[in-house]
């Protein structure tokens, strides 16, 4: 089943971070990419708006992009990490272009750039409103052509053991527990949306990589810095709510309350185009003021043909829900969307554990500060995953290959079945304790409840299944967030 039992590098995750890292290695480096579900299922594939990058030096510059990023991040960003993101990112975006990612272009042939909330310039390159899928599909195609990279889907990493000169990973595939060795490991496992009842995130976003890194002793930082998006489609009873991209407001949509009135300017002079956290806050406060959760986006003033060609995916998803956005207002409400904190890494994407790297949404590089600027996350995934790969290549060339320590005793597949309802319980606690407007009076009790669940999962004798591993990840991640909140860190 596994082509080899040892690799130079194992990459956990086939989102933009994992795939772009895999692409960097030459023939002389053996790489394994593992992905717990089908390869394209990820937050990356869901990205709509695009990638932010300074590509038009006549109308934009690095200083402006850096300033926008710092303002959105409330100046809690790591400046060197932001400078690296902004100055190196354009070359990575052009690399995608040269791989064949079809970013939209103007009649003149130059890349078309749109505006999103918090950006002072038009700098978001995009492929209609399905940029992430366009990038992921092309990256998968490119990685599959590399003879030194093996890719395994439906392969779930459930543990990482540190040994001399590397790691042994426990991987669940087709119901069997396997061990694979690696000198270097890159965690690129994405976000944590599934700890919430309502999220825009993909089903894979259970925070596995953060939980695995935490169990290994890696530093986790600012996990309670969570971004709530102000405009997810308000579908009843759907856990994964589809996103109505910021670009819809960028192109002129207005946000209306239950009385059909614009309200965003009451809370911030930037109105609907204020950063996400500001708009989400405004919506919740307006919801309390009006006593209603009914809110709408209205873009009907725009030409219907423009709407259909600029937002084909959102248009057809809305139609599936019975809403024609060229004529109807779209029902929306805030939703969990993105994680700014994560596994702490340095400017080379290294964790505090020798040989362990992390990139993408599961990390804390410090680029986002307290709040991510729209379309900076795909850019971060590109820049820091490439950096991680470059650093591993540098280490392999300078230090040479060293013998890997022996594998630990294999795990037993035997164990008790996981009780039902654990994930639901945690989601209810998180939704009730910390959703847009935090409720400090609930922190301590919620933490104690989740902590008891974590202890039970870690000390119990449960069979290692995907359900168990994801429930354990959700519990560990929720526990760290609530612990930060009750300790007063971050907010
Ligand atoms: C609806 C939506 C719209 C967005 N729009 C934009 C946008 O326009 N611009 C922008 O910059 N950002 C956007 N984002 C954010 C951005 O898409 C993500 O932050 C980014 O793509 C994350 O990439 P990643 O590679 O870190 O993780 P992901 O793309 O989520 O990939 C994670 C990978 O890890 C694998 N994995 C997880 N756990 C395990 C395990 N235990 N074992 C094996 N594999 C595992 C998964 O299967 C998956 O392959 C959006 C996000 C969402 C949800």
Mutate to test the pocket of ligand 1, among 19, 123, 182, 190 (most ligand atoms within 8 A of CB): 190
Q: Which domains, and CATH codes, for the chain? A: 6-225+340-399 (3.50.50.60), 234-334 (3.90.700.10), 422-486 (no CATH)
pLDDT given for residue 333 in this prediction: 93
Three-class SS state of 226: strand
b (16+ CB within 10 A) / e for 32-68: bbbbbbebbbbbbbbbbbbbbbbbeeeebebebbbeb
Q: Which atom of ligand 1 is nearest to the CA of 126?
A: 8
Question: How many CB atoms are closer than 10 A to CB 258?
Answer: 15
Quick check: helix, strand or coil at residue 291? Answer: coil
Tokens standing for residue 324: 């024609």
Active site amino acids: 276
Instruction: Supply the pLDDT for residue 15.
Output: 98
- Ligand 1, closest atom to CA 52? 11
Q: pLDDT tens for residues 242-291?
A: 999 888 998 899 999 999 999 999 999 999 988 788 899 999 999 999 99
Pocket flag, ligand 1, residue 192 (CB < 6 Å): no
Cβ–ligand 1 distance for 377 under 6 Å, the answer: yes
- Percent of the chain as helix, strand, coil, to the nearest 5: 40, 20, 40
Please enumerate in sequence order all residues whose Cβ is within 8 A of that of 16, keeping only pairs 6 or more positions apart, or say none: 42, 44, 132, 135, 136, 139, 360, 378, 381, 382, 385
Low-confidence ranges of the chain (pLDDT < 50): none
| C-alpha to C-alpha distance for 196 and 166, rounded to whole angstroms | 34
Rounded distance between C-alpha atoms, residue 28 and residue 146, angstroms: 11
Hey, which of 45, 124, 132, 188 would you mutate to test ligand 1's pocket, going by the most ligand atoms within 8 Å of its Cβ? 132
pLDDT score at 490: 64
CA of residue 202 to ligand 1 center, whole Å? 8
Give residue 2's pLDDT: 66
| CA-nearest residue, atom 14 of ligand 1 | 47
pLDDT at 413: 80
Nearest-atom number in ligand 1 for the CA of 191 is: 30
Output the CA 285–ligand 1 centroid distance in Å. 30
DSSP state of 128: T
189, 231, 363, 373: which to mutate for ligand 1, most atoms within 8 A of CB? 189
189 C-beta closer than 6 A to ligand 1: yes
């Amino acid at each position: 089943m596994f082509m080899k039992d040892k690799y130079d590098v194992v990459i956990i995750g086939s989102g933009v971070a994992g795939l772009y890292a895999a692409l960097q290695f030459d023939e002389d480096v053996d790489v394994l990419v593992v992905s717990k579900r089908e390869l394209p299922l990820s937050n990356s594939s869901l990205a709509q708006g695009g990638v932010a990058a300074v590509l038009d030096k006549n109308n934009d510059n690095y200083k402006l992009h850096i300033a926008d990023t710092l303002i959105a991040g409330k100046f809690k960003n790591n400046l060197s990490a932001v400078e690296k993101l902004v100055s190196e990112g354009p070359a990575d975006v052009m690399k995608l272009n040269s791989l064949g990612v079809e970013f939209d272009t103007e009649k003149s042939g130059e890349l078309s750039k749109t505006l999103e909330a918090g950006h002072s310039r038009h700098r978001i390159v995009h492929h209609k409103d399905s940029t992430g899928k366009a990038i992921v599909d092309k990256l998968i195609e490119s990685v599959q052509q590399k003879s030194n990279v093996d890719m395994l889907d439906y392969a779930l990493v459930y543990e990482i053991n540190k040994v001399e000169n590397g790691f042994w990973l426990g991987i669940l595939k087709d119901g069997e527990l396997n061990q694979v060795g690696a000198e270097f490991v890159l965690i690129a496992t994405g976000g944590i949306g599934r700890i919430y009842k309502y999220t825009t995130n993909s089903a894979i976003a259970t925070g596995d990589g953060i939980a695995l890194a935490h169990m290994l002793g890696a530093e986790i930082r600012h996990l309670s810095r969570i971004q709530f998006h102000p405009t997810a489609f308000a579908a009843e009873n759907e856990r994964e709510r589809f996103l109505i991209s910021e670009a819809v407001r960028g192109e002129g949509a207005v946000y209306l309350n239950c009385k059909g009135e614009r309200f965003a300017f009451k809370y911030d002079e930037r109105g609907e185009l204020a950063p996400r956290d500001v708009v989400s806050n405004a919506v919740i406060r307006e919801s309390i003021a009006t006593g209603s959760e009914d809110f709408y986006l209205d873009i009907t003033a725009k030409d219907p043909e423009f709407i259909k060609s600029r937002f084909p995916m959102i248009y057809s998803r809305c139609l599936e829900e019975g809403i024609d956005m060229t004529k109807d207002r779209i029902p929306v409400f805030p939703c969990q969307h993105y994680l700014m904190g994560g596994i702490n890494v340095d400017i080379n994407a290294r964790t505090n554990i020798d040989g362990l790297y992390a990139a993408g949404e599961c990390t804390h590089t410090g680029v986002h500060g307290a709040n991510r600027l729209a379309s900076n996350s795909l850019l971060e995934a590109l820049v820091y995953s490439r950096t991680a790969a470059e650093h591993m290549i540098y280490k392999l060339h300078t230090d040479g290959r060293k013998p890997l320590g022996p594998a630990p005793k294999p795990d037993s597949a035997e164990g008790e079945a996981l009780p039902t309802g654990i994930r639901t319980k945690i989601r209810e606690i998180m939704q009730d304790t910390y959703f847009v407007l935090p409720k400090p009076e609930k922190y301590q009790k919620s933490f104690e409840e989740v902590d008891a669940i974590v202890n039970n999962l870690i000390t119990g004798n449960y069979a290692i299944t995907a359900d168990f591993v994801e429930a354990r990840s959700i519990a560990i991640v929720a526990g760290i967030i609530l612990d930060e909140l009750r300790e007063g860190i971050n907010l």
